[in-house]
Structure 1
Amino acid sequence: MRSLIIATEVQKKWPESQIHFILNRNAPYAKDCPFPKQLIDTTPTKDIRGVNSIMSELMPDVVIFDASGRKAHFQHAKNIGAKTVFFSQHTKKRSKGLKLNRLKLIDHHFVVQPKFIMPDLSWLQKMKLNWLNKEAPLCIGPVFSQPSKEQGQRLLSEYGLSEKQYLIFSAGSGGHKVNGELAAELFYQQAKTFSEKYDVDCVVIMGSNYPKKVPVSTERLTVLPSVDNPTFINLLAMAKATVISGGDALLQAIALKVPSLSVPVSKDQPARIDICYQHGFVMKVESKLSVKKIEKLYADAELKHELLRIADDSNGLPHVLESLKAVFR
């Protein structure tokens, strides 16, 4: 999703740009990629010969490694004269980008987390950066499409919603399970119960990987299979609050100052949610999502919105576009 957001904005800003994706043909998102794509039989990180061959054929000016790539990929990109951009999304991935054999091959290293999430660099990492005269990885926050008032109003009209009067529920891609149950179904059931009990509009996004038939919408409950990032961001920005998983979307909600109740749906999310909770930016679910928790979110939304005023509102997209500007001059 992040790479698609960037590609879409690059095409808008520089219409003459030629954009290609290298994707695993078996990945569920491969068929939906709207840009020219080169399909391979495994994840690109595992295919050195295939990916390098495609780079040699296309001869790109920039190669973006979105939390992916091996040293041989970076080396080949530099050998053919390309600039390299690397995204890391957590401490372990950032550390990989700071290894000596990769550090000298990366032109721009962006960490797609707010600064308050990430620990400081170690003394050894700082020494390596100084030794090679390289800039430290830059924490740019989540990357997302900028909200548009015009598009937001169109969406409110389309779905019969009122600004700051509805809740939005999103469990991520739709395929995650919590205690053996699909997280998207748990979110849907709680949204349905809450909307019926309190006569409040709710929007549930089931996710592109949701494997079952999408439930039918009702008068107060709008159920969507999946949406693109501009639609999601506009719906999120205009919501009263959100019940959301602990991935990138949580950080987008914080950046947009939307009060959030966060539920972990994968093993990497509890730590991120805990840090956000410790800063007072989110409510969290200790055990299982319940209507009682959603009631508290709805009742305290205005107070939570005030607390979010101090949160980092960075959108990483402008940083990425700025780094690419020289290529398109």
Structure 2
Amino acid sequence: MPQEKSKLLFVPVSGPVGSGEYYRCLNIARAMARRRDNVEMHFLLSRHAEVERESRFHYHLLEKTPTLAGTAVERCIDRLQPDLAVFDCSGRKRHFRRVKQLGGKLAWISNRPHKRRRGFHPQVLPLLDLHLIGESCEPDPALTRIERGLLKLFGPARVDFFTTVAPESVADPDELPLELPEQYAVFASGGGGYEHLGRPVPELFLDAARRFHEATGLEVVTVMGPQYRGGINSDNRVHVVEALSTAALGRLLAGARLGVLGAGFMLSSQALAARIPMVLTAVGGRDQPGRVKEFDAMGIALPAALDAEALSHKALELSNDPALARQLVEHASSVGICNDVAKCAELLLELID
């Protein structure tokens, strides 16, 4: 008889803007499926999230992000009865309790201080089997004294750390929607759904890309993002790409001379995994200003204001100073930042062995 498949349910934050949690879960799910063929992947996702989807995975659409979707999440949990549910910065205690009542394992992923604290809440911690904490800016992460005390009182969840979660492999060059120049820079804000001063952020990045190209002559690829709602899809000075899969974006970044990027967790993770020098700016989300400051303090990215002139100026500074570019990449390598997607996948698979 064929072995029954284990059901895995991923519940990331999702909506019309911001998609890093979803792409983190997607990368982990793909890595898990690569290691185990008897798993069935399900995602709970806001119907307003314009994101890449994997055809072999199952999607269950909600009217809102899972934290705000209430009973719709519980109904889906009841229907699927997952062997493992992975909540990434989303969900409510009653959702967690329902998973456990049905006999499933429960994992929580956090990469922001207040989400990390939630994983140690006395009403949440006893329900968890695994808490994965993202600490891309901490070379030697550790639990605090209070967290260790809470684990003793309310455990026994396993707690582990990861630095970045990027695709395990990148696309072949012929899978990209354009033929890449020999040398180029990448300007990408992220998902593309945020606005700044009433204007879509990707268009600010496009303006910065034009200025940088005019000043240097270097080819530029600008990625508008899957959640961009403006009407620009081409330009007579720089290359414009509407959206890319995570694997294709990984390929694009891997060959770039430099990147000018939004400070979302997933995009900055992919840039670190690609080992390219970058200019980083906060485009939205409460975590991004802090990440820009941390990357700057660690010497692994140049900070910039969210302004076309400021972005192009910092990119020009980086382009004109090869020693600085090398230094940024070397610092990122020296603090142990690496792609932990395989580690996360294997820790989650252990829960259903």
Shared fold per TM-score greater than 0.5:
yes
Q: Secondary structure of the equivalent of 1:272?
A: helix
Q: 2:251 aligns with which of 234, 241, 251?
A: 234
With over 3 angstroms needed to count, the CA separation of the structure-2 counterparts of 1:228 and 1:118, relative to structure 1, is farther
For 1:68, the equivalent position in structure 2 comes to: 90
How many angstroms does 1:264 deviate by? 1.2
TM superposition shift of 1:259 = 0.6
Match of 2:346 in 1: 322
The aligned amino acid for 2:345 is: L
How far off its partner does 1:136 sit?
6.4
How far residue 5 of structure 1 moved from its aligned partner, in angstroms, is 1.9
Instruction: Give the partner amino acid of 1:159.
Output: E
Q: Secondary structure at the match of 1:312?
A: coil
Aligned mates of 1:94, 1:88 — CA distance in 2: 5
Aligned residue number for residue 278 of structure 1: 297
Is 1:213 paired with 2:237?
A: no
Amino acid at match of 2:107: V
**Other-structure match for 2:217:** 199
- Aligned residue in 1 for 2:281: 263
1:196-251 C-alpha deviation (Å, 9 max, x unpaired): 33221111000111111233144x62211111111111111221110001112123
Query: What is the alpha-carbon distance in structure 2 between the residues aligned to residue 157 and residue 24 of structure 1?
Result: 27
Q: CA deviation at 1:277?
A: 0.2
Distance 1:154 1:287, change over 3 A: closer
- 1:146 Cα deviation from its structure 2 partner: 2.6
| Counterpart contact for 2:192–2:201, Cα < 8 Å | yes
TM-score, reference length from structure 1:
0.88
User: Corresponding residue for 1:110?
Assistant: 132
Structure 1 contact 259–301 (Cα < 8 Å) conserved: no
Offset of 1:300 from its aligned partner? Answer: 2.3
Q: List aligned pairs for 1:301-316, cutoff 5 A.
A: 301-309=322-330, 310-316=334-340
1:184 aligned counterpart, secondary structure = helix
Answer yes or no: is the 8 Å Cα contact 2:84–2:352 preserved in 1: no
Shift of 1:13: 2.7
SS in 2 for 1:146: coil
Conserved? CA contact 2:125–2:157, under 8 Å: no
Task: State the shift of 1:127 in Å.
Answer: 0.9
Gaps of 5+ in 1: none
Whether the aligned pair in 2 keeps the contact of 1:91 and 1:118 (CA below 8 Å) is: no
CA distance 1:154–1:195, change in 2 (3 Å)? same
Aligned length: 323
Report 1:1-329 matches (<5 A): 1-29=23-51, 32=53, 34=55, 35-116=57-138, 121-134=143-156, 137-148=159-170, 151-154=171-174, 158-162=178-182, 165-218=183-236, 221-248=238-265, 249-268=267-286, 269-286=288-305, 288-290=307-309, 291-309=312-330, 310-326=334-350
Assess, with a 3 A threshold, how the Cα gap between structure 1 residues 301 and 270 changes in structure 2: closer, same or farther. Answer: farther
For residue 301 of structure 1, report the CA deviation from its aligned partner. Answer: 4.2
Cα contact 2:27–2:168 (8 A) shared by 1: no
Identity of aligned residues (%): 26
Determine the C-alpha separation between the residues in 1 that align with 2:298 and 2:137.
Answer: 12
Mapped contact 1:169–1:242 kept (Cα < 8 A): yes
Distance 1:46 1:100 in 2: 22
Compared CA separation, residues 43 and 133, structure 1 to 2 (3 A):
closer
